[in-house]
């Protein structure tokens, strides 16, 4: 098996394993706590998932982007996850990159800057310029991803697969400051398969100026049936 293919399968296995751990943690919560604690936990879980999927805060923030005259927006959403990735934030804040995005028809740039110390420059999009806004964290970036015309992301597997699942054009920027940067192997493998574009921060301008998003191949959704059957078998449930 090719090295990159093995790395992709390992990353997918780790992602599935993390989801299974969360499921088993919830199972232990229901089995080994009192009824009152279970009721409180159920309420908290409901609030968490309701906020995650509805996410009115994120929606309101998205609606603040760009002009208020009802014109259609082409939003570039930049996300660094929970990490500190100042190199990416600084790169997208560069005047030449913002001008290139504007030249390509994008109207808004929304940056999720995470724990970074570099603060990008806000702009309301006056005089036909690119509207720029930023925030640190959100309970969910799902609404931002759905509203985006282009996503520029760090190399986290969660951000990558959530973006690809939504069918959004994606540029993955590898964080070269990470000591054990195994995530770059996943991004490079998916780029080799033409599901996304992959670059370093210093190459972002060149990547944007030469990108052909029409050439990207949609990522085929995975079949979760085998995993669901495995979970049902483990929990003693029927697969009917």
pLDDT tens digits, 56-104: 333 334 344 444 455 689 999 999 999 899 999 999 999 999 999 999 9
For position 86, what pLDDT does the model report? 96
Averaged pLDDT score across all residues of the chain: 78
For position 126, what pLDDT does the model report? 84
Contact 133, 73 (CB under 8 A): no
DSSP state string for 103-160: HTT--EEEEE-TT-S--PPPB--GGG--EEEEES--S--HHHHHHEEEEEE-S-HHHH
Q: Where in the chain are the domains?
A: 3-54, 57-215
First to last CA, the chain: 35
Contact 142, 54 (CB under 8 A): no
Tell me what the mean pLDDT of segment 185-206 comes to: 95
For position 182, what pLDDT does the model report? 73
Cα torsion 203, 97, 182, 229: sign: negative
Decide if pLDDT at 121 tops 60: yes
Contact 160, 172 (CB under 8 A): yes
Closest listed residue to residue 110, CA positions, set 56, 154, 152: 152
The residues pairing with 79 across neighbouring beta strands, listed in sequence order, are 112, 153
Tell me what the mean pLDDT of segment 181-192 comes to: 87
CA 59 to chain centre: 16
pLDDT over 70, % of the chain = 66
Specify the DSSP class assigned to residue 221: P
Q: Classify residue 46 by burial, with Cβ atoms within 10 Å: 0-12, 13-18, 19+.
A: exposed
Decide if pLDDT at 19 tops 80: no
How does pLDDT run across 127-147, given as a tens digit for each residue? 889 999 999 999 889 999 999
For position 176, what pLDDT does the model report? 85
For position 58, what pLDDT does the model report? 38
Does 57-215 carry CATH code 3.40.50.2000?
A: yes
State how far the alpha carbon of 41 is from the alpha carbons of 46, 54, 139, in Å: 8, 20, 18
43: part of which helix (H) or strand (E)?
helix 35-54
Say if pTM beats, i.e. exceeds, 0.85.
no
């Amino acid at each position: 098996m090719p090295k990159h293919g093995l790395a992709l399968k390992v990353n997918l296995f780790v992602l599935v394993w993390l989801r299974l751990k969360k499921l088993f943690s919830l199972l232990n919560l229901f089995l080994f706590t009192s009824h009152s604690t279970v009721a409180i936990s159920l309420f908290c879980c409901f609030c968490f998932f309701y906020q995650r999927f509805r996410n009115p805060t994120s929606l309101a923030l998205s609606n603040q982007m760009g002009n208020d005259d009802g014109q259609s927006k082409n939003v570039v959403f930049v996300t660094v996850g929970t990490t500190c990735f100042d190199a990416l934030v600084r790169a997208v804040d560069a005047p030449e990159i913002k001008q290139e995005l504007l030249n390509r028809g994008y109207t808004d740039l929304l940056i999720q800057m995470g724990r970074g110390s570099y603060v990008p420059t806000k702009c309301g999009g006056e005089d036909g310029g690119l509207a720029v806004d930023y925030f640190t964290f959100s309970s969910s970036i799902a609404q931002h991803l759905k509203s985006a015309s282009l996503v520029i992301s760090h190399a986290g597997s969660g951000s990558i697969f959530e973006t690809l699942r939504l069918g959004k054009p994606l540029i993955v920027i590898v964080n070269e400051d990470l000591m054990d940067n195994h995530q770059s192997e996943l991004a490079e493998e998916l780029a080799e398969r033409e599901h996304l574009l992959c670059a370093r921060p210093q190459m972002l301008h060149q990547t944007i100026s030469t990108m052909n998003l029409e050439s990207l191949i949609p990522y085929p959704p995975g079949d979760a049936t085998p995993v669901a059957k495995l979970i049902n078998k483990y929990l003693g449930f029927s697969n009917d």
